[in-house]
Amino acid sequence: MEFPFDIHKVLVEKITMLGPNLRPARRPFSASRVDFQHQITMIVDEIGKASAKAQHLTAPITSASRLQGSDHRLYILKDCSAKNAGKGTVIGFLKVGYKKLFVLDHHGAHNEVEPLCVLDFYVHEALQRHGHGKELFQYMLQQEHLHPSQLAVDRPSEKLLSFLRKHYSLRSTIPQVNNFVVFEGFFQGRNASA
């Protein structure tokens, strides 16, 4: 995804984490504060729209204003390859956040839990199946200090289910009554209240 400004001057690191204040840990010294906030907002809004389009959603579930009103975290991957050295491009993003959920276990009991949830995940169409999704996901797991089986996923697409099966051997064996999916191992070591 291209933008009318230099991505490398806004997103300094290969993967940038953004929270509700829309401020990355490393900010370029050169950018004025107003330009910087405007450009970050534009990036988040545009990648959110692209993801919604890819998932055939009626409206984006990721935008700068939604991020500001949440405790979600957005991981954005930019292209650092030499062929994209010019203004740079954004490859994709992953959004996660903690949510209180009732999750059914193997005995059919409802458990109140608050897992980290995968809420939105998108890699540009032309760049899917090149390992970029795995790079983003791995980085997120490291930052959040979690094992993939500890996550819940909000309405996973077939592509995402295939991704989780392939890279993390995650299989969903307990049908849930909400839109969230959990995987084998979710309840291991978890203090759930029935």
| Interface residues toward ligand ACO, by CB under 6 A | 54-55, 118-123, 128-134, 153-157, 159-160, 162-163, 166
Shortest separation between residue 156's beta carbon and ligand ACO, angstroms: 5
CA distance linking residue 25 with residue 192, whole number of Å: 34
Q: Which parts of the chain fold into alpha helices (H)?
A: 33-54, 64-68, 132-144, 158-168
Shortest separation between residue 10's beta carbon and ligand ACO, angstroms: 22
> Per-residue DSSP letters for 119-170?
EEEEE-GGGTTSSHHHHHHHHHHHHHT--GGG-EEES--HHHHHHHHHHH--
Residue nearest to ligand ACO (CB): 133
The C-alpha R_g of the chain, in whole angstroms, comes to: 17
Local structure of residue 61 (DSSP, 8 states): S
Which is nearer to ligand ACO, 36 or 137 (by Cβ)?
Answer: 137
Shortest separation between residue 61's beta carbon and ligand ACO, angstroms: 8
Shortest separation between residue 138's beta carbon and ligand ACO, angstroms: 9
Which is nearer to ligand ACO, 79 or 154 (by Cβ)?
Answer: 154
Which is nearer to ligand ACO, 40 or 170 (by Cβ)?
Answer: 170
